[in-house]
Amino acid sequence: MRNGRQRAVTIAEVARRAEVSPATVSRVMNGRFAGAPEVADRVRRAAEELHYSPSPLARSLALGETRTVAFVVPDIANPTFQAMLSSLSKSAAADGYRVLVADSAEDPEEEAVLAVETRRGCDGLVLCAPRMPDERLRALLPVLRPVLLINRGSTRLDAPSISVDYGVGIQQLAEHLHGLGHRHFAYLEGPAPSTSNRSRVEGLRSFAERAGNVRVDHIAAGSSSSDGYAGAGRVRETGATAVLAYNDLVAVGLMSALTDQGVTVPADISVAGFDDIPMVSYIAPRLTTVSVPYGPLGAEAWKRLHALMRGEVPSHNVIFQPRLQRRESTGPPPVPPSADRTGPAAAGPGRRR
């Protein structure tokens, strides 16, 4: 005993007791010994007598695996990534793996560094909503494999992927608002490098071309509640009667700012989010949004990554379809003061009262 601790027994001591080489002890402990059974028994007996406990790090090095995978996300504070992580972790644990998490803080350069560094210390990588350009990601893929991409499906990227059809989701929201009578929209955009934001922008462009009688003002924002709060003034300056937020967090921040400014949702302006995170069913008014099945998405991600790590061909790429959730944060546009209040509220683009 020294300083209250017992010295750890080394693999060399077990080898001397069993009269074998340290390499033989390592192979027996890792289940890779193909020699005589009596030799293996002698090693196990020596290890037991000496109370030898193999080092997890040494075992990982010997086996060439860590039984861990990494999950790299742009912002772990976002509930959508937390939902994916929870499902991914539970699915991986069922197969004896643990999940390490790295947060790139929405920085494409940091994301690339994190992806490479975490991959060096684990057996596989789930790269969630990568912000880096296609060219950079494509160049890194050989270093990152096995890797599974979430929300970055592209025929130019040679890696399995799971994604959400954000373009369809934003069109569902826009069509819902259009059906209520809105003709003037504002879109609080997400992070500029985000491919999912670009999908939303394309979806809104398709909607506007199809509808023909609408105006969509785009406002640079971000992905957090503080971004939504900060964008309230610019939203009001547009005169839009309905706002589509990049995600639910942005929508919640926006509604908080509008309330502080004396603007009523949805009487003065309608607000819609994206993702259907748990909290939006409990705020007032409850948020209209589109629901994305992030839990199942995490489980499907693990199935494909695990197949890759076993040298198998993963299942087909999957694109999840969002589902519209109509709630109380959206309603008809306000009637302009000069309009006949007995007439239809959808007669024109309308402005807040």
CB–CB of 110/123 below 8 Å? no
Return phi, psi of residue 37, to 5°: -60, -35
Q: What is the CA radius of gyration of the chain?
A: 27
pTM, two decimals, is 0.79
CA 16, 19, 22, 26 torsion-angle sign = negative
Residue 170's CB is within 10 A of a number of other CB atoms, namely 27
Give the per-residue pLDDT at 48: 87
Region of residue 104 (left: phi > 0; alpha: psi -120 to 50; beta: else)? alpha
Give the per-residue pLDDT at 11: 80
The angle that helices 108-120 and 134-144 make with each other, rounded to 10 degrees, is 10
Q: Which regions of the chain are under pLDDT 50?
A: 1-5, 57, 61, 63, 341-353
CB–CB of 331/267 below 8 Å? yes
Could you tell me the domains of the chain? 11-63 (1.10.260.40), 68-165+294-323 (3.40.50.2300), 167-291 (3.40.50.2300)
CA 131 to chain centre: 12
Q: Residue 102: in which H helix or E strand, if any? A: strand 98-103
Region of residue 319 (left: phi > 0; alpha: psi -120 to 50; beta: else)? beta
CB–CB of 263/237 below 8 Å? no
Kind of pairing, strands 161-164 and 125-128? unpaired
Give the per-residue pLDDT at 158: 87
Give the per-residue pLDDT at 341: 47
